[in-house]
Amino acid sequence: MTDNSAQPQHCTEATLVDGHALVFPTLRVLQADGSLYEQAQLPQIDKASALKIYHSCVFTRVLDERMLAAQRQGRISFYMTCTGEEAAVLGAAAALDDADMIMAQYREHAALHYRGFTLEQFMNQMFSNINDLGKGRQMPIHYGSKALHYMTISSPLGTQIPQAAGYAYGQKMRGEDNVTICFFGEGAASEGDFHAGLNMAAVHQAPVIFFCRNNGYAISTPAEEQYAGDGIAPRGVGYGIKTIRVDGNDMLAVLAATQLARQVALEQQCPVLIEAMSYRLGAHSSSDDPSGYRSKEEEQKWREHDPVLRYKLWLQAQGWWSESDDEALYQQYKQEVLAAVKVAEVLPMPELSTLVTDVYDEVPKHLSEQLEQVKTQVQQYPEYYRATAGKEHL
């Protein structure tokens, strides 16, 4: 149960408490040159896990670059990049147990790669081909993997937040030795689901880590036009949730914060909120043009805080990585991604009938009727149902 034992304090003079009275420090470990801040402490990390994190950084950079180009070529219909937020995603993912549930928003494919999602699985999902785990039912980049404890992504903003609170409460009821982490942006923190989810988790003391990537923009709306208070972190305190703010471009700081959050969530069976201060270097999505609402100078300023470069410099300072290693890894992933695109884009689409299968043991009559109506519609107007890369449905 929540500790409500604090004694109330009283006063005899009307006094307003300003919302900025609570000042949140930002945890930092790693400086831009790859050295540690004075008195900063390393999180638990060894060479193997450090290099695994970096491999996922490079993979994600290459995947983002190549698949955004593929979208521009009309080979896939949609894409969203993680560029600039790799540390916020991977630092958190690396702090988790493999069986902890991840409920992502849509920019956390780096975490899925870290868990072991293969390049072929990424491609099959984006091309919605016959090998896609979701059978082509989702938009590109809306991944999901039951085997890797990665809940399938929903397009509506913020819906995963109350779901994460409920899932974590279920873990608690079952006595599991795991937590749930829920990623979302600061824009989603303006949704009603954010408040419902945090309140539910706090009241029921669910072992969930709410991870807010504060990347500066909700599509085109800058952070200063989204909220009047000091970011998202104070809201956690308002709901009685333990909260920490961290430099979201600092891989080691995010790792340290999430390791602490997981330990507390598990041992005390309670929610924790992390606010990672970062910046979305890319566009919101392949349908967005950020030049209409922010300057190149602003973007360049944040490129100087590149989380991947900062982390690479730290790896090199440990003697664990070199420039030649780096060049070789980038080349390897570029070749593998291009080859995987060529394979995935020519595979056939799932049969249309899979729209109504694998939910019920027997397809209900009304769904069978709707399927026939869809088939008739597609056959009558095939020009409106052409799939990406020229493939046909049916």
* Catalytic residue numbers, as ranges: 280, 284, 293
Distance, CA of 97 to chain centre: 16
Provide the token pair at 234: 């104070």
H/E run at residue 246: strand 242-247
Rounded to 5 degrees, what angle do the CA atoms 289, 190, 165 make? 115
Judge whether 183 and 213 are in contact, CB under 8 Å.
yes
Cα torsion 87, 51, 286, 157: sign:
negative
Q: What is the dihedral of CA 46, 150, 243, 224, to 10 degrees?
A: 110
Cα torsion 31, 35, 41, 43: sign:
positive
Judge whether 183 and 89 are in contact, CB under 8 Å.
yes
Order of strands across the sheet with 242-247? 26-27, 242-247, 272-277, 208-214, 180-185, 101-103
Backbone conformation region of residue 94, classed left if phi is above 0, alpha if psi is from -120 to 50, else beta? alpha
86-93 vs 47-72: helix axis angle to the nearest 10?
Answer: 140
For 382, phi then psi, to 5°, come to -60, -25
**Helix, strand, coil abundance in the chain, percent, nearest 5:** 45, 10, 45
Strand partners, 212: 184, 275
- Integer Cα distance of 218 and 280 in angstroms: 10
Task: Return the SS3 of 3.
Answer: coil
For 51, phi then psi, to 5°, come to -70, -35
